[in-house]
Amino acid sequence: MSEKNEWASAGPGGLVAYSVMTYMAAALFLGLVDFTSLLLASGIAFAAIIPYIITAIVSLRKNDNLGGNTFLYFTGFFAAGSGFSWLLTYLSIINHWNIDIRILGYEWIVLSLVLTVTTPGFAKAPLATFLTILTVDPALFITAFYYLGVTNTLINSIGGLLYFITGTLAWYVAAAGMLASVGINLPLGKPLLK
């Protein structure tokens, strides 16, 4: 009898990292922390690279093209990119460097467009997972417009609230995924698409 060598899903680990990142973004957009938090936030963003890349690799190994590639670009841009840009922003403020952060707006437009266009693919996942993606789509556009310098306090606050909502959904879905492996099933809702 041959032993089946299946990999477990790394999705919950990636979603915990996602939740941490979105909660930090929410705190920044809502003004709950100031620029001095960027130094610590950059370190946490670099730490998010580990669960993101592992989730991407395991998902791709399991032939999950949508989830695997989503976590792959999350690794590069939402974790590493945010880590570097937050670190450089912090250093530029304390050292009075001139940095044009509007370039980040163009990066975030691409990330926003890609995730928004691929969002319908997540409608085949449980409803809570789909809502995790659906609620972050407008927050990403707000981030892009923030970096381009065209938002205001109200729009930034809406982005912050959306980041809190998606982060809360993400840690819940992550917990549900881990608990399901030991027979405890938290409700996630039925997929919208079969």
Per-residue pLDDT of 15-60, as tens digits, reads 999 999 999 999 999 999 999 999 999 999 999 999 999 999 999 9
pLDDT of residue 23: 98
Q: Which residues of the chain have pLDDT under 70?
A: 1-5
In the chain, where the domains are located:
11-178
Residue whose C-alpha is closest to residue 171's, from 186, 156, 182: 186
In whole angstroms, what is the distance from residue 66 CA to residue 118 CA? 8
What is the rounded CA–CA span in Å between residue 155 and residue 152? 5
What's the rounded Cα separation, in Å, for the pair 154 and 160? Answer: 10
Res 194: pLDDT: 85
**Alpha carbons 63 and 77: distance in angstroms, whole number:** 22
If one counts every other C-beta atom within 10 angstroms of the C-beta of residue 175, the result is 16
What pLDDT is stored for residue 1 in this prediction? Answer: 43
Q: What is the pLDDT of residue 63?
A: 94
